Amino acid sequence: MSRQPYLRLTFKGQRPGQRPTASQLVEAIRDQVQGGSSLEGCRLPPVRVLAHQLGVAKGTIESVYDELKAQGVVESRDRQGLFVAPRNPEVEVPELTRVPPLALKRLSSCQPTVTARPGMLHLSAVFIDPRILPRDRLAACFRSVLKSPGMPGLYDTQGYRPLREWIAERLRGRGIDARADHVVITNGSQQALDIVMRMAATGTVATESPAYFIGKYLMELSGMQAVGLPVDPFQGLDLERWEALLRRHRPGLVYLTTNFQNPSGYSYSTRELSHICRWSREHGFGILEDDWGSDMLSYSEFRPSLRALGGENVLYMNSFTKKLLPSLRIGYLLGSEATISALVMGKRVATLGVPAVMEAGLYEFLDRGYYDTFLRTVQEELDRRYRRCLDLLDRLMPEPVRWTTPGGGPILWLELPRSVSIPRLAARLAAEQVLIEGSEDAFFDEPHLHGFRIGYAFLDPDEMEQALARLSEGIRALL
Ligand SMILES: Cc1ncc(COP(=O)(O)O)c(C=O)c1O
């Protein structure tokens, strides 16, 4: 049988004596054979010929050809050699019968997503500065999981068991009676919120006003009536008012963020948490506690959570996204014997599962002890940034501006005189490369606060100084 002649491949840019690497060869061959459709079906040089031409080992060419086969660039034909694979044939598009778009729900008001342009100083970020997050150690753990024969091939809807065990043990150390069987791993704690909203058999939910606004939108999309419970980060809760609102609206679910409530930065006192548990018993509502701010504050762990005070029927959610890496997207929900099967079903319906390889990588990080080491350094850094932010506010802000002093962690609330228009201030600052996020949409009624969140965990001290100096000038100009 006569053989088809093979293609001549050229490799430019190689310095004499320098051998190309396998990945350079893959790229060079792919560029050449995909250059034009006329090469489809042409034969590639045999391994020994190309190895000789390039002065590399035959094994290198074999691995290059294997990679090109895996990428679908070439295909092997039985005993005839390797050929340039045909590209996807173009599909003939039939005549269009244009159909109408699907009617979608609309939110009554929706703050546009604010994203900082490159170079902008984000003064209201809830994130920790990615530059101080443990990316290298996380990467090492993910690499080790990906290479290990034990890499999970399938997934468990409830979540990777060792990770759930680790979480339960950690929570038990914080006075929460948690079992791995009652933990569901979620796609960020946002999914925990979504599952609870989807599964709660109630038409009315209450949350703080100002609320975590994405949570507020979720309630609206779930068709629930949402009631705002006013939080004043300077005064704490008006307990009488809360009780009256709970009595009047009779929500079936109350969703509260007990540490660093977003956006007010408020953390509940133990006395307030005890009242909430008592009202839950008296008025018969379920509780979802959002503890996203835990671990960010030094000396915070003795603060009892609602779950620790109210027992296993308080649903509890938390997340690694803010503490370790936002793009990790791993959070969790803690239920109880009475609630867990419905919560797992809620997750199955929504996403089937979180990528188990990510869960295993995170578990590796936690199990090696990196999390605790990291927390020690990050809390010190956040404390430093917090003190620096307070010093700068003291020095730079004009007289009528007030701010809260949460004691560390990620965010505080800055209250402005009513005469300063926040949208005008935001526009002026945006022109000066500083981003602030107003909270107008986060209130349920007429806003009782007039300010916004400052995230001191995100900017380094020099950036914070620049941002607050521009903020101060902006406020003075609008006063
Ligand atoms: C109070 C609060 N809860 C939950 C979330 C959801 O975060 P994630 O899904 O990243 O855990 C956020 C996000 O900013 C938040 O601010």
Complete edge-to-edge strand list for the sheet that includes strand 204-209: 183-187, 330-334, 315-319, 286-290, 253-257, 204-209, 225-232, 236-237
Of the listed ranges 114-128, 132-146, 387-401, the least confidently predicted one is 114-128
For 61-86, write each residue's pLDDT tens digit: 999 999 999 999 999 988 889 999 98
With a cut of 90, say whether residue 297 has pLDDT above it.
no
The 3 state secondary structure assigned to the chain is CCCCCECCCCCCCCCCCCCCCHHHHHHHHHHHHCCCHHHCCCECCCHHHHHHHHCCCHHHHHHHHHHHHHCCCEEEECCCEEEECCCCCCCCCCCCCCCCCCCCCCCCCCCCCCCCCCCCEECCCCCCCHHHCCHHHHHHHHHHHHHCCCCCCCCCCCCCHHHHHHHHHHHHCCCCCCCHHHEEEEEHHHHHHHHHHHHCCCCEEEEEECCCHHHHHHHHHCCCEEEEEEEECCCEECHHHHHHHHHHHCCCEEEEECCCCCCCCCCCCHHHHHHHHHHHHHHCCEEEEECCCCCCCCCCCCCCCHHHHHCCCCEEEEECCCCCCHHHCEEEEECCCCCHHHHHHHHHHHHCCCCHHHHHHHHHHHHCCHHHHHHHHHHHHHHHHHHHHHHHHHHHCCCCCEECCCCCCCEEEEECCCCCCHHHHHHHHHHCCEECCECHHHCCCCCCCCEEEEECCCCCHHHHHHHHHHHHHHHHHHC
Q: What pLDDT does 216 receive?
A: 94
- Ligand 1 and 84: CB distance under 6 A: no
Query: Which mutation among 212, 288, 362 tests ligand 1's pocket best, with the greatest number of atoms within 8 A of CB?
Result: 212
Residue 159 falls in which region: left (phi positive, over 0), alpha (psi -120 to 50) or beta: left
Of the listed ranges 119-123, 144-148, 284-288, 438-442, the least confidently predicted one is 438-442
Ligand 1 centroid from CA 3, angstroms: 63
Ligand 1 centroid from CA 381, angstroms: 21
Ligand 1 centroid from CA 190, angstroms: 6
Ligand 1 centroid from CA 56, angstroms: 53
pLDDT interval class at 33 (50, 70, 90): confident
Of the listed ranges 1-15, 34-48, 320-334, 339-353, the least confidently predicted one is 1-15
Complete edge-to-edge strand list for the sheet that includes strand 451-455: 402-403, 411-415, 451-455
Query: Which mutation among 189, 289, 317 tests ligand 1's pocket best, with the greatest number of atoms within 8 A of CB?
Result: 189
How far are the Cα atoms of 39, 201, 341, 352, 396 from residue 346, in angstroms, in the given order?
A: 52, 12, 9, 9, 49
Name beta bridge partners: 157.
none
For 165-176, write each residue's pLDDT tens digit: 999 999 999 899
* Ligand 1 atom with least separation from CA of 260: 1
pLDDT, mean of residues 272-283: 97
Query: Which mutation among 124, 261, 262, 351 tests ligand 1's pocket best, with the greatest number of atoms within 8 A of CB?
Result: 262
> Backbone phi, then psi, for 6, in 5-degree steps?
-100, 165
- Ligand 1 and 212: CB distance under 6 A: yes
* Ligand 1 atom with least separation from CA of 326: 10
Name beta bridge partners: 184.
333
pLDDT interval class at 449 (50, 70, 90): very high
Q: What pLDDT does 34 receive?
A: 81
pLDDT interval class at 9 (50, 70, 90): confident
pLDDT, mean of residues 106-127: 82
pLDDT, mean of residues 333-347: 97
Q: What pLDDT does 303 receive?
A: 73
Residues in the chain: 479
**What does the block give as tokens for 468?**
């607050």
**What does the block give as tokens for 315?**
């649903």
pLDDT interval class at 113 (50, 70, 90): low
User: Would you say the C-alpha torsion 366, 368, 373, 378 has a positive or negative sign?
Assistant: negative
- Round to whole Å and give the CA distance between 463 and 129: 11
- Ligand 1 and 292: CB distance under 6 A: yes
**What does the block give as tokens for 21?**
């690497």
For 189-248, write each residue's pLDDT tens digit: 999 999 999 999 999 999 999 999 999 999 999 999 999 999 999 999 999 999 999 999
- Ligand 1 and 189: CB distance under 6 A: yes
* Ligand 1 atom with least separation from CA of 193: 4
pLDDT interval class at 88 (50, 70, 90): confident
Query: Which mutation among 322, 327, 330 tests ligand 1's pocket best, with the greatest number of atoms within 8 A of CB?
Result: 322
- Ligand 1 and 439: CB distance under 6 A: no
Residue 11: CB atoms within 10 Å: 14
* Ligand 1 atom with least separation from CA of 329: 10
**What does the block give as tokens for 332?**
């969790």
Minimum CA distance residue for ligand 1 atom 16: 262
- Ligand 1 and 318: CB distance under 6 A: no
- Ligand 1 and 305: CB distance under 6 A: no
- Round to whole Å and give the CA distance between 337 and 312: 8
Q: Strands 402-403, 411-415: parallel, antiparallel or unpaired by DSSP? A: antiparallel
- Ligand 1 and 354: CB distance under 6 A: no
* Residue with more model confidence, 3 or 350: 350
- Ligand 1 and 259: CB distance under 6 A: no
Q: What pLDDT does 110 receive?
A: 67
pLDDT interval class at 40 (50, 70, 90): confident
- Round to whole Å and give the CA distance between 444 and 435: 24
* Residue with more model confidence, 39 or 334: 334
Ligand 1 centroid from CA 376, angstroms: 22
Ligand 1 centroid from CA 353, angstroms: 19
pLDDT interval class at 93 (50, 70, 90): confident
- Round to whole Å and give the CA distance between 334 and 340: 8
Residue 6: CB atoms within 10 Å: 16
Half-sphere exposure of 195 (CA within 13 A, CB side): 34
Minimum CA distance residue for ligand 1 atom 6: 190
Q: What pLDDT does 371 receive?
A: 96
With a cut of 90, say whether residue 59 has pLDDT above it.
yes
pLDDT, mean of residues 123-127: 95
With a cut of 80, say whether residue 35 has pLDDT above it.
no
With a cut of 80, say whether residue 324 has pLDDT above it.
yes
With a cut of 60, say whether residue 355 has pLDDT above it.
yes
Of the listed ranges 12-26, 266-280, 310-324, the least confidently predicted one is 12-26
Q: Strands 121-122, 434-435: parallel, antiparallel or unpaired by DSSP? A: parallel
For 429-442, write each residue's pLDDT tens digit: 999 999 999 888 89
Q: Strands 225-232, 236-237: parallel, antiparallel or unpaired by DSSP? A: antiparallel
- Ligand 1 and 321: CB distance under 6 A: yes
Residue indicated by tokens 């406020």: 475
pLDDT interval class at 252 (50, 70, 90): very high
pLDDT, mean of residues 415-427: 96
**What does the block give as tokens for 401?**
């501006």
Q: What pLDDT does 300 receive?
A: 63
Ligand 1 centroid from CA 320, angstroms: 10
pLDDT interval class at 258 (50, 70, 90): very high
**What does the block give as tokens for 337?**
């014997």
* Mean of the per-residue pLDDT values of the chain: 92
Name beta bridge partners: 287.
254
Residue indicated by tokens 């526009």: 427
- Ligand 1 and 290: CB distance under 6 A: yes
With a cut of 80, say whether residue 306 has pLDDT above it.
yes
Q: What pLDDT does 1 receive?
A: 54
pLDDT, mean of residues 118-130: 93
- Ligand 1 and 213: CB distance under 6 A: no
* Ligand 1 atom with least separation from CA of 190: 9
- Ligand 1 and 126: CB distance under 6 A: yes
